[in-house]
A = this chain, B = another copy of it.
Amino acid sequence: MAVHPLQSLSRQETELAKDLLLAQHYEELLIFREIYLQEPPKAELVSFLDLEHSGQLTESSPRPARLAKCQYDVVGSDKIPAYHESILDLGACHRIKHEIIGKEHHAALTLSEFDTLVKVCQASKAFQDAISELVIPEGFEVVIEPWPYGGLDIDDENRRYFQGLVFAQDTRNGNPHSNFYAFPLPLIPIMDAEKKEVVRIDRLATGGKGDSLRGKTHSPEVLEHCANAEYVPELLPNGTRKDLKPLHVLQPDGPSFVVKDDSLVEWQKWRFRVSFNPREGAVLHDVRYDGRSVVYRLAVSEMTVPYADARPPFQRKQAFDFGDGGAGNCANNLALGCDCLGVIKYFDSVTVESNGKVKDHPNVVCLHEQDNGIGWKHTNWRTGRAVVTRNRELVVQFIITLANYEYVFAYKLDQAGGITVETRATGIVSCVNIDAGKTSDYGNVVNPGVLAQNHQHVFAIRLDPAIDGQKNTVIQEESHTVPMNKETNPNGNFYEVRQLPFKQSGWADAAPEHNRVFKVVNPGKRNRISGKPVGYKLTPPATQLLLADAKSVQSQRAAFAHHHLWVTKYKDDELYAAGRFTMQSRKEFGGVADAVAREDDVENEDVVIWSVFGLTHNPRVEDWPVMPVEIHQIQFKPSDFFEGNPSIDVPSSSDQMSKEVAKEVCCNGA
């Protein structure tokens, strides 16, 4: 059977794309960045999906072409790389689109560029001289952690740069996994990526309250007051807890999900496709419940992490973890049993290295079920009969590591028709050196000599709804007090529910004081019971939005982070909340702000919603050395879509394997 249009490119397809590109650019030097599936135009894909769902799909049915999106540098005779993007038709073996991206935008980074930064710094005399101004204790080695440059400063030439955060690792304990973040060094080398040279070394302030923004306050012995802060278990001073008894999840009859074509998932009336790409990580497509369409496409679109330390150059600590280098590229290989429990299905991906070599990127997405407590319960007070069901969820999860930080992204589907996108932030807070005994307005001292800087994490989820079809309307609904009055509210207890549909593309903010929710409805289809249009609802989490001054580069490059909800009219390839090119941007380009500026009609149209939420993170000592997960969820739940609780038919048998323990419960050991 032919490959489904939504399946990620296979290894062979990726190799074919690479070969086609090499042939296209015969005799030019190519440096590969990404090759992955270019999803078909919606009009073609919807036709195909309709055929698929009607059961009438055959081998000879028309199907969208298999297209590869290719991003690469072409190095001309002048040795200067130019960034190209091409789309190849893999069936026809033919290029159908070709763009040479101008210098006003920068390509997303590849991990090989990060490797280059490290090597260039190590070989740089300027850098070694700068290091020798500091006292690096015996047995410590210098670590350079590559970062994107951040937003170009006003006086920066528009060249491609990388910056390196610098730490020292204690090698005296002979353990290569010793935590180097405990020993931050106050300098940031800047590399010109084209010249492959260190062009500048920023010296970092290490002062505290009352010290100036730019002055040097430290002696050469910058690490003297620092201390180890290990997290790998073999280096913990007191070892690990001995009294935690095992808890296993057992599924003796196997999982309740079925996976076909390594992409189609069916579970508890849900049916959807999973794909994976180097930018967004895992994506859900064509999500249906009991055969009815709910969501056309769901993905994490972007995230940005601006740092709030006023001292230059910290304004350039602001990564866009999806646009700058691709979240998918940073996805962890999810080891068995650690990241998920129970019966687990893994999905693999494929990446291309800068020399064109195609590599496996295995176990980047995991699929498993979990129990999330009680689903519903009622006890009939007259008869005493209790009926209770468990809330079983299906989880599609991937985890990304960006230098110090980790983010766990999980799409959760439940038996009551709900879709949840959950993010968990963990990993190591980014930190800088601070003089002994000082505190700072820019963050919190989490270890001697270590200042964890204040920052925010702002996420954007792109959800392309298809509530019983593509033409939907987004409605803002609120509940309001009504003044007591004899005619309509004699006892003052009545409150009014008000609705306001989006007629044009635009934005809105959370307003929990009004119980503001957003409903995506199909105006052409009514719920037979309530008479209201079928729909799903989303309550945007009322989190703080971007704090940086609106005139700042940090703010201007993240316009998406200024509002909680954006509503746009569908446009092919309009996937990225902060636009296609975030590397070194000064201003958001082609993101949601530009999309809504088109003022498209969005009422009863093919709409897309973008949900923005975040975490203002003023680190606490408990976030160190690795932070306990900070969890956020957005929920997309049915709202008069169904004719009753869709999980009413979940069986309520008691769990035979649960055990009661005696009144006095004693544990061995510990």
CB contact under 8 A between A374 and B426, given known A249-B249, A622-B641, A626-B648: yes
Residue pair A343, B667 in contact (C-beta under 8 Å): no
Q: Mark A335-348, 1 if CB is under 8 A from B, else 0.
A: 11111111111100
Nearest CB of B to A655, in Å: 4
Given A493-B310, A625-B648, A531 and B445 touching (CB < 8 A)? Answer: yes
A229 to chain B, nearest CB (A): 7
| Segment with Cβ contacts to B, from A3-11, A69-77, A82-90, A250-258 | A250-258
Interface pair B238/A245, CB less than 8 Å apart: no
Nearest chain B CB to A7 CB, angstrom units: 12
Determine if A60 is an interface residue (Cβ-Cβ < 8 Å).
no
State the CA gap A554–B495 with chains docked (Å). 12
| Interface membership of A611, Cβ < 8 A | no
Assess whether A220 is interfacial by the CB under 8 Å rule.
Answer: no
Contact between chains at A176 and B383 (CB < 8 Å) = yes
| Interface members, chain A 535-591 (any B CB < 8 Å) | 537, 542-545, 547-549, 551-555
A658 touches B249 (CB 8 A): yes
Complex Cα distance, B493 from A315, in Å, reads 6
In angstroms, Cα B308 to Cα A315, docked, is: 50
* Residue A53 is within 8 A (CB to CB) of chain B in the complex: no
How far is B628's CA from A639's CA once the two chains are assembled, in angstroms?
Answer: 12
- Whether A232 pairs with B387 at a CB distance below 8 angstroms is yes
Instruction: List A382-412 residues whose CB lies under 8 Å from chain B.
Output: 382-383, 385-388, 390-392, 399, 401, 403, 406, 408, 410
Contacts known (A246-B252, A374-B424); A642 close to B654, Cβ less than 8 A: no
CB distance from A164 to the nearest CB of B (A): 13
A507: interface (CB < 8 Å)? no
State the CA gap A645–B629 with chains docked (Å): 11
* Residue contact B315 to A491, C-beta cutoff 8 Å: yes
Cα A121 to Cα B658 in complex, Å, equals 44
Interface string of A230-258 (1 = CB under 8 A from B): 01110010111101111111111111111
Cβ-defined contact, B339 with A374, below 8 A: yes
Q: Residues of B contacting A656 with CB < 8 Å?
A: 248, 337
Please tell me if the beta carbons of A385 and B177 are within 8 angstroms of each other in the complex. Answer: yes
> CA separation between A618 and B529, bound complex, in Å?
15
Cα–Cα distance between A136 and B543 once the two chains are bound (Å): 52
**A243 — which chain B residues lie within 8 A by C-beta?**
256, 268
* Shortest Cβ distance from A620 into B: residue: B639
Verify if A624 is at the interface (C-beta below 8 Å from B): yes
List A residues 309-367 near B (Cβ within 8 Å): 309-310, 312, 314-315, 318, 332, 335-346
CB distance from A347 to the nearest CB of B (A): 9
Residue of A338, A391, A668 most packed against chain B (CB within 10 A): A338
Contact among B418, B426, B527, B622 with A638 in the assembled complex (CB-CB below 8 Å): B622
Does A464 sit at the interface, judged by CB under 8 A? no
* CA of A256 to CA of B668, assembled, Å: 9
Q: Which of B392, B531, B621, B645 contacts A644 (CB 8 A)?
A: B621
Partner of A542, one of B542, B545, B549: B542
Q: Which residue of B lies closest to A513 (CB)?
A: B544
Binds B, one of A25-33, A101-109, A480-488: A480-488
**Is A132 in the interface zone, CB < 8 Å from B?**
no
Contacting pair A645 B627 (CB below 8 A): yes
Given contacts A483-B549, A542-B542, A651-B233, contact A640 B628 (CB under 8 A): no
A44 at the interface (CB under 8 A from B): no
Minimum distance in angstroms from A264 CB to a CB of chain B: 10
Question: Does A173 sit within 8 A of B, measured CB to CB?
Answer: no
With A494-B442, A515-B616 as contacts: A549 and B338 at CB distance below 8 Å: no
A241, A309, A416 — most chain B CB neighbours (10 Å): A241
Q: How far is the CB of A280 from chain B (nearest CB, A)?
A: 20
Least Cβ–Cβ distance between A493 and chain B, in angstroms: 4
Nearest CB on B from A582, distance (A) = 16
State in angstroms the CA–CA spacing of A143 and B380 once bound together. Answer: 12
Size of interface on A: residues with Cβ below 8 Å to B? 182
**Given A268-B241, A647-B628, do A408 and B547 touch, yes or no (CB 8 Å)?**
no
Q: Which residue of B lies closest to A240 (CB)?
A: B651
A 441-483 contacts with B by CB, 8 A: 441-442, 444-448, 454, 479-483
CB distance from A46 to the nearest CB of B (A): 27
For the complex, give the distance between the alpha carbons of A531 and B332 in Å.
Answer: 36
Please tell me if the beta carbons of A378 and B427 are within 8 angstroms of each other in the complex.
yes
With CB as the reference atom, state the residue of chain B lying closest to A509: B513
Report A253 CB to chain B, min CB distance, Å: 4
Among B246, B391, B392, B417, the residue within 8 A (CB) of A629 is B391
Cβ–Cβ < 8 Å partners of A332 in chain B: 379, 386
Would B492 and A555 count as touching, CB distance under 8 A? yes
| A439 interface hit (Cβ, 8 Å) | yes
Q: How many Å lie between the Cα of A262 and that of B665 in the bound state? A: 9
What B residues does A426 contact at CB under 8 A?
Answer: 374, 376-378
Report if A406-B418 is in contact (Cβ < 8 Å); known contacts: A545-B513, A660-B345.
Answer: no
A547 proximity list for chain B (CB < 8 A): 479-481, 495
Query: Could you say which of B308, B408, B512 contacts A494, with CB atoms under 8 Å apart?
Result: B308
A-B contact list, 23 entries, CB within 8 Å: A176-B385, A213-B488, A241-B649, A248-B655, A249-B658, A257-B665, A306-B493, A310-B493, A312-B491, A315-B491, A340-B658, A376-B628, A378-B427, A378-B626, A445-B530, A446-B644, A515-B616, A527-B621, A542-B542, A622-B642, A625-B644, A625-B645, A627-B645
Closest 3 CB pairs of A and B: A492-B552, A492-B549, A337-B654
Known: A249-B658, A377-B626, A513-B542. 8 other contacts (CB 8 A): A233-B649, A245-B255, A248-B252, A339-B374, A381-B401, A441-B496, A482-B549, A624-B644
